[in-house]
A and B are shown apart, each in its own frame.
Chain A
C-alpha cells in the first residue's frame, strides 16, 4: 500500500516535474539575460495548450497532419514571445516597474482572450495524444504518454543544456547573462540576444504544453499563473543561472506537491501552498538557491 502510494507520488511528481523544468528554464533564462521578470511566461504555456485545442478542432486537415499543427502552434507561440519583447518590453527597459506591469497586463490580456474564446471550464484534448497505452507497474496504472512526456522532457532539457554550453549563440547568451557590459564590449548585441532568449523561452513553454496537454485537460485560462508561480519557486529554489539547479528544483518542488497530494489529508487544497512555502523558506534561509552562484538582484 505504502509502496504503491510512493510510486504514485513519484509518477505524478516526475510528470509535472519534467514540464515545470521546461517552463522554468525559459523563465530563468529571460530573467538571467535581460533582468526581465516576465509575468506573461505562464501565459505562453496556457496559450500554446489552447491553440493546440483550437487547431485540432478546426479542420480535418489539422487533426490528420498532427505534426503540422504542432509546428504551427510552436512557431506562433515563439512569434508571440518575440513580439512581446519587441513591442512591449524593449521600449520600457529603463523603467523596471513599468516593464513588470506591462508583462502582467499582457498575461492578463492573453488570459481574457482565451477565456472569451473557450470559456473557463476545463477542456480535454482527446483528438490526439502521444500514446494510448496504459501499463500497470507496482500496482499503479501509468499512461505511456506520461512516461514519454517525462523522457522527452528530460531529453529536451539535455539538448538545451548542450545548446547553451556548446553552440555559438548559447555562449553569447551566457556571456550576456554573466556580464552585459563586457559582452557588449566584445561586440555582442545584447538586445538581439535577449530577443533570441524570449523566442527560446516561449518555444520551450509551448513545447512543454505540447508534451503535457494532449490526452490531459486544459485547466482553464487561468492555469498559466500556476506554471508562472511554480517557475518562480523553481528559480528561487534551484538558484539563478544554474540549469542543473532548475531541473533538480523542478523535480523537488513537484515531488513535494505530489507528496502533499498523496499522503496528506485534504492534500488537493494544500498542494497549492507548497510553492509559497518553498519560496518563503528559501528566501529566508538561502536566497541564492541550492545551486545558485549569485543572488537575484
Chain B
C-alpha cells in the first residue's frame, strides 16, 4: 500500500518536474531558439508551390536532417565516449546495403527494411566494438579506420549482383515517399525523435559515465565502471543512429554503392559537421550539419565542382580543429545568448 502511494507520488513528481523543466527550457535561450527553428521548419515546405522550390530547395533540408542525425551519432562515440571513430561510413553504408538488399531481393516493405537495417547496423556496431572489450587506447581507432577501408575495397572489387553487388552497388530503390514534402516531414520527425533521445542520453547518467571514460579511462575503471561494456554501448548507439541515417540516405538517392555510401568521404562528412558544431555537444551537430548543407548548396550554386567543395571543407576542418576546437558555432551562440539575455533584461 505504502509502496504504491510512494510510486504514485513519485510519478506525479516526475510529471510536474518534466512540466517545470519544459517551461523553464522554453523560456531559456536555447529553448526559444529551438522552438523558433521548429516552427520555421514546420512551415518551410508551404512557402511556395514553385516546382524548383519543392523538388530542389526542400530536399536540401532532407539532407540536413539526415546529416544531423549522422553527425550526432558520430559525436556519441567520439565526443561523449572519447573513442575516436573513423569507421562511421561502415554503419552508414552497410545499413543502406542491408535495407536495399531486403527491398530489392525480397520485396520487403520500406519501413520494415528500415527497421531491420537499423538493427543490422547496431549489430555491426556490436561486432566492431568487440575489440574494445579487450583493448585500450588508439587500437579501436585503428580497427575502425582499417575496417572501413577494407569493407570499401572488398565491396568495390566484388562481382556485381548479390551478395556483394560490386562497384555499381544496388539501384532502383523506392523513394521513402514520392512526394518530397511528405519525405521532408518523415525525416523532420525522425530528426526530432533522434535528437530527443540522443540529448537525453547525453544528459543522463549514461552520458556521465561515457564522459568519464573519455576524460580518464583508468580513473573510470577505478571508480567501478565496466568501461568495456560502456564503450561497446557507445559504439552500438553510434551505429544505431548512423544506420538510420544511412538507410534514409540510400532511399533518398534510390541507390547504394561503395563510392557514394561507404567511402572515406562519408566518415569525413560526419567528422566535419560534428567538429563545426563543437565535438562532444551532440546538439552542435545540428548546427554543423545545417552550416555544411547551406555552404555546400551555395558553393555548388556558384558553380564549383563537388571535389572542389570537398577541398574547401577539408580546409575548413583543418582550421576548425587547429584554431577553434570548441567548434565555430558554440562561441557564436554564446554571443547570441548574451544578446538574448540583454533583450529580456536579465
Contact = CB atoms under 8 A, between A and B. Distances in A.
A272 B138 contact: no
A279 interface: yes
Contacts of A102: 318, 321-322
Q: Which 6 A-B pairs have the closest CB atoms?
A: A109-B314, A272-B153, A105-B317, A102-B321, A112-B311, A229-B146
Interface-central residue, A87, A226, A276, by most chain B CB under 10 Å = A276
A101 B308 CA distance: 21
Of B86, B136, B146, which is in contact with the most chain A CB atoms at under 10 Å from its CB?
Answer: B146
Contacts of A297: 136-137
B139 interface: yes
A113 B311 contact: yes
Contacts of A269: 154, 157-158
Interface residues of B, number: 40
B134 A283 contact: yes
Interface in A179-234: 222, 225-226, 228-229, 232-233
Interface in A249-297: 268-270, 272-273, 275-276, 279-280, 283-284, 287, 296-297
A88 B315 CA distance: 12
Given A105-B314, A272-B150, A275-B150, 19 more contacts: A92-B322, A97-B84, A101-B271, A102-B321, A105-B272, A105-B318, A109-B318, A112-B307, A112-B314, A116-B308, A116-B311, A229-B149, A232-B146, A233-B146, A268-B157, A269-B157, A276-B143, A279-B142, A297-B137
A267 B180 CA distance: 44
Contacts of A284: 131, 134
B135 interface: yes
A108 interface: yes
A111 B318 CA distance: 14
A287 to B, nearest CB: 7
A102 B316 CA distance: 11
B289 interface: no
Interface residues of A, number: 44
A100 interface: yes
Contacts, number: 110
A141 interface: no
Contacts of A37: 138, 141-142
A160 interface: no
Nearest to B140: A283
Contacts of A106: 318
Interface string A89-123: 00110010110111011101101110110000000
B221 to A, nearest CB: 14
Nearest to A285: B134
Interface string B297-331: 00000000001101100110110011001000000
B273 to A, nearest CB: 13
Interface string B270-305: 011001000100000000000000000000000000
B264 interface: yes
